Amino acid sequence: IMVIVAIMNAALDPLLIFGAGPIPAMGLQGAAWATLISRIVSIFIALGILHYRERLISWSAPTWSSVVDSGRHIVRIGLPSATTNALTPLAIGLVTAVVAGFGDAAVAGLTTAMRIEVCALLGVFALAVGCFPVLAQNYGAGNFERLAAARRFALLTGCLIAIAVAIPITLAARPIAGIFITGGIVHDTAAGFLALVPWSWPGFALVFVMASMHTATGRPLLGASLTLARMFAFLIPLTWLLSQAFGLPGVFGAFVAANLLSALAGLASLKLAASHRAAG
């Protein structure tokens, strides 16, 4: 479905942006319409598959008790994830506020580097999303041996992906930063971030994958706590402390320390969860 949506969006974009025949050129508004149309179509495709092929949708009116029960389960899983997503921009904003003390150019450089970081770690994000249904299915089926194997594979693969992208980026930090910005403090800040922080990306990968694991195995609060701890217990305090002591390089060091410390905390949480399951 996602592939169909992407192809449809790509086909509609030039048609609606630049116009063709009776269709007027709509510019940026056309791009928005292309996205809206492709997503509406995806909804009907998904509903059709779920109803006609998978037989997973019942159109009969649910009872109030079933609605409450389903809502309780959805909130139990969804609320911690929603809270994490809502607080992440706040954490980034607080870090940016500290960096703002070094000037607008430093903020621009850090923002650029963090955008590059997100693109570089797309494989890790995809892994965390992809392993979720596998872990949840085996956990629900009580197949803990297969669950452990999938967990080991996901953690190892996440680390390998992070290492694979970190090595070339750190070795070519300045040229990569130069693709987006040229010279000055902005370039130096972005290059400094990319030369140091990627060495801790395996730790970040572990945290992200472990958070997904906890949510998939019925511990959403633990998964959300791990992600929030990385930002609010480690990154923000360390950013302020290390920036006071070492200036802008201290901010980069705070990212490294936060990634590694939260990874250690995550590994400890996995051991704790495993011991609780064994005891239960």
Dihedral through CA 211, CA 140, CA 133, CA 150, nearest 10?
A: 70
Alpha helices in 100-121 (DSSP H): 104-120
Q: What is the pLDDT of residue 81?
A: 86
Asked whether the predicted pLDDT for residue 280 surpasses 70, the reply is no
At residue 184 the predicted structure's pLDDT band, cuts being 50, 70 and 90, is: confident
The closest alpha carbon to 138, from 267, 277, 276, 275, belongs to: 277
The domain locations on the chain are 2-53, 70-279
pLDDT digits (tens, 9 = 90+) for 141-182: 889 899 999 999 999 999 999 999 999 999 999 999 998 887
